[in-house]
Chain A
Amino acid sequence: MTGLVSVRGLTIDHRVDGGFRTAVQGVDLDIAEGEAHGLVGESGSGKSTIALALTRYLPKGARVHAGQLRVAGRDVLTLDAASLRRYRRDDVGVVYQEPSRALNPTASVGAQVAEAHRLRGLPRPAAREATHDSLAEVGLPDPERLAARYPHELSGGQQQRVMIAMALAARPRLLILDEPTTGLDSQVQAEVLALIGRLQQRLGFASLLISHDLPLVAAHSDRVGVLEHGRLLETTSSARLVAEPAHEYTRRLVSAIPAFDGAVREPVDAAAPPLLVGTGLRKHYQGHVALDGVDLRIGRGETLGIVGESGSGKTTLGRVMAGLTAYDGEIVLDAPVVPPPVQIVFQSPDASLNPRRTVRQTLRRAIELLHGDGTPEELVARTGLPVDALDKLPHQLSGGQKQRVAIARAFAGRSPLIVCDEPTSALDVTVQATVIDLLIDLQRRTGVSYLFISHDLAVVRRISHRVAVMQHGRLVETAPASDIFGAARHPYTQSLVAAARHGRRDLPADAVAN
């Protein structure tokens, strides 16, 4: 194996308000021909910046130093405009996180893939042929017809396949995948990554997979580098990374992964009168059915997890429970109507706090409205926030802290039911785990019930007593967590669990096998 990528002492500073902030510091990176290399790090660790540096796509104002930055025999930092263009065209392909933003919405996908072929010198008719081959290669059905369609007519998974087809059109020697499956459903995610693995075997390109998701990177890479604050802490084989992480930070990352084994929470007393019973819940939006006859029951102090693909109606169900949308059917909630009995914790902590109000203002108003008897100070203490957070504005807090404020707000009174709509999806792994711990702790102390919506099965497994699986607006299976993850009956549940397991792989067992 010869070195395809050879980076020594890469340091990148971004210009911020007159000064410079170091994004990447002294990183060494080697990727051999045909190797699947991974980079893991939480947000702000500099992993995307490294990817941009490899293609020399850094924004204006970024300062790059490197002892060496060679890719495919070219010294990337000294290329002139023409050879830089040739390098990007011939040697590297990049797949970004959000295909819906990377694709041109006003051109058919065929035209976009064909452009990649034309740029490498094919005449129009040949480029058309090659486009169909490219689309077939990434497993898209009926390439001739699909080529005429526009990005918005495709699903997220299909869009990402088109991006891969474009990136591979020129048969690059290095494929950079920057969070390629973040935002896709776990099943689609597994399919897309499996596709990349197959193509890599067949075409022999090297890949650099960048993600915050350690299990995912470990499962799809030969070697993995771990980044923290722009420094590369260690680079090892993916099996060793999980089995015997050398660095303290890596150990934290590994232990923060919600494991797919270990105990699930025991169901709460099924005989006790339930807090909430919903029957025949239906909701449509202009012809599109979001909820199609949902029956559910939530006990006091119980967490009902709701899992399903995006578009399955999970969020609509949460909004119906919180009384935010009109619906057909019946919900009986065994609680007084005032103060409001249902609160919500949202996915994005950035959007769920008013950016112009301090934490204290937000919490004080919540206590008034929910007839709470505590103070903002008590709420902050209960949710593990520092006291000085009270007089800060949301943008001065980290993501995890913001989410804690949102949780504190939901617990300002004694609302018996809290709908958690993907509360951990926007957070880094290590923060996810602490937020889930907080939610479980608060539930033990207050006896609150959760409707916990998430596409992340590992997180749902950790917090739920019972789990309901949603597909096309229906609950296809509702069972205690141990049954869903151990002995699922419905085929859809089985496929969801299998996909989640494949993405994560049961790490300790797998590592031992290697």
Chain B
Amino acid sequence: MAADVLVAERVDLVAPVDAAPPRAGGAWAALVRRPTFTVSAIVIVWWVFVAIAWRWFGLDPFGDTGAKLAPPSPEHWFGTDRIGRDVFARVLAGAESALLIGPLGTLIATVLGTALGLVAGYRRGWVDQLFMRTFDVFLALPTLIFLLVIVGAFGSSPLVLAAAIGVLFAPGIARIIRAEVLVEMGKDYVTSAQVQGERTRLILARELLPNVWPQVAVQAALSIGGAVFVASSLSFLGLAAAPPSPDWGLAVNENRAYLQGAWWTLVFPTLAIASLVVSVNLVADNLKEVLRG
């Protein structure tokens, strides 16, 4: 309460009140100072690097090493699985598929959701109603059943899966962007652009988008974690990756029977999924706190 009162209600004559959104540089400096952000970012960068670079290290995720279900040892850091494949190589190689479908789906969801949210918030009226009710339907659909139907109809190529995840995650993003836009619509700079005869497309792109951009970034980051999880779930169910793919979700499914006998075949892919999803979510939370003040 006391702090509220102190906030200058009127415009400062001498020193401009710094009521502006944080500048990019300031936000970055604030992020780097947060240990959870730094550590998570390093984990993500590591997985991205691995996803691209695993081939260059002479790893063979598919070949039989001769030793079946060997425990972790200096030759096989993470042990081997039931047909003698090196788990370490498979976990590293699995980063590729984990980082393909989830992030691609998030990209589609973000672009689609932001566009729909901007239009719904700006146009309001029946357009808004139509969009929002459609979103409600999508949000009410059980995720996995929806994906099962899509995979059944269109196959399980990465592109189809990414598109399906995009469609699934877009309504949530759109609703939040719409709410942001409604706040911005109350400000006179939008009215001013309308009075000057600015085209709707440019009001959306130049006036509104830059001002809802922090929220877009936060929503995208929050969605990646969920999307990676959904993609792994699909693999676990055998809907996305098929053997002999080193996909993490698939690995968890294939090896779940060995939890007691050969825990390493299950624990390392699980840890990989967890480290990626948790890191992405921590980065998103930090982004949210810093950008949203």
Q: Chain A interface (Cβ within 8 Å of chain B)?
A: 42-44, 48-49, 52, 57-60, 96-98, 101, 178-179, 182, 212, 229, 322-324, 338-340, 342-344, 346-357, 365-366, 369-370, 393-400, 402, 406, 409, 412, 426-428, 430-431
Question: Does B75 make an interface contact (CB < 8 A)?
Answer: no
A44 touches B15 (CB 8 A): yes
B19 touches A350 (CB 8 A): yes
A229 touches B14 (CB 8 A): yes
- Alpha-carbon separation in the docked complex, A416 to B251 (Å): 72
Q: Chain B interface (Cβ within 8 Å of chain A)?
A: 1-6, 8-21, 186-189, 191-198, 206-207, 210-211, 213
| B interface secondary structure, majority | loop
Q: Contacts A397-B16, A398-B12; is A96 near B188 (CB within 8 Å)? A: no
A43 touches B11 (CB 8 A): yes
- Alpha-carbon separation in the docked complex, A396 to B19 (Å): 9
B10 touches A399 (CB 8 A): yes
In the complex, which residues of chain A have a beta carbon less than 8 angstroms from the beta carbon of B189?
A: 351-355
- Alpha-carbon separation in the docked complex, A344 to B198 (Å): 14
Q: Contacts A346-B188, A354-B211, A357-B210; is A324 near B195 (CB within 8 Å)? A: yes
- Can you sample 19 A-B contacts with CB below 8 Å? A43-B8, A49-B6, A58-B2, A322-B195, A340-B195, A340-B196, A342-B195, A347-B188, A349-B11, A350-B19, A352-B191, A355-B21, A356-B211, A356-B213, A398-B15, A398-B16, A400-B13, A409-B196, A426-B10
Apart from A346-B192, A400-B13, 7 more pairs, CB < 8 Å: A101-B4, A339-B197, A369-B197, A369-B198, A398-B13, A399-B11, A431-B11
Q: Contacts A44-B8, A52-B6; is A343 near B16 (CB within 8 Å)? A: no
> Which of A399, A412, A427 has the most chain B CB atoms inside 10 A of its CB?
A399
Q: What's the nearest-Cβ distance from chain B to residue A22, in Å?
A: 12
CB-based nearest A residue for B208: A354
CB-based nearest A residue for B194: A324
A343 touches B195 (CB 8 A): yes
- Alpha-carbon separation in the docked complex, A392 to B100 (Å): 40
B2 touches A356 (CB 8 A): no
Q: Contacts A346-B188, A352-B187; is A52 near B2 (CB within 8 Å)? A: yes
A428 touches B210 (CB 8 A): no
Q: Contacts A340-B195, A353-B189; is A48 near B5 (CB within 8 Å)? A: yes
Which single member of B13, B18, B196, B213 contacts A366 (CB below 8 Å)?
Answer: B196
In the complex, which residues of chain B have a beta carbon less than 8 angstroms from the beta carbon of A44?
A: 8, 12-15, 17
- Alpha-carbon separation in the docked complex, A4 to B20 (Å): 41
- Alpha-carbon separation in the docked complex, A441 to B1 (Å): 43
A348 touches B6 (CB 8 A): no
Q: Contacts A340-B197, A355-B21; is A398 near B188 (CB within 8 Å)? A: no
Q: Contacts A59-B3, A395-B16; is A351 near B8 (CB within 8 Å)? A: no
- Alpha-carbon separation in the docked complex, A101 to B1 (Å): 10
Which single member of A43, A58, A60 contacts B13 (CB below 8 Å)?
Answer: A43
- Alpha-carbon separation in the docked complex, A62 to B165 (Å): 49
Q: What's the nearest-Cβ distance from chain A to residue B26, in Å?
A: 9
B10 touches A344 (CB 8 A): no
B195 touches A344 (CB 8 A): yes
Q: What's the nearest-Cβ distance from chain B to residue A440, in Å?
A: 21
B210 touches A354 (CB 8 A): yes
A357 touches B13 (CB 8 A): no
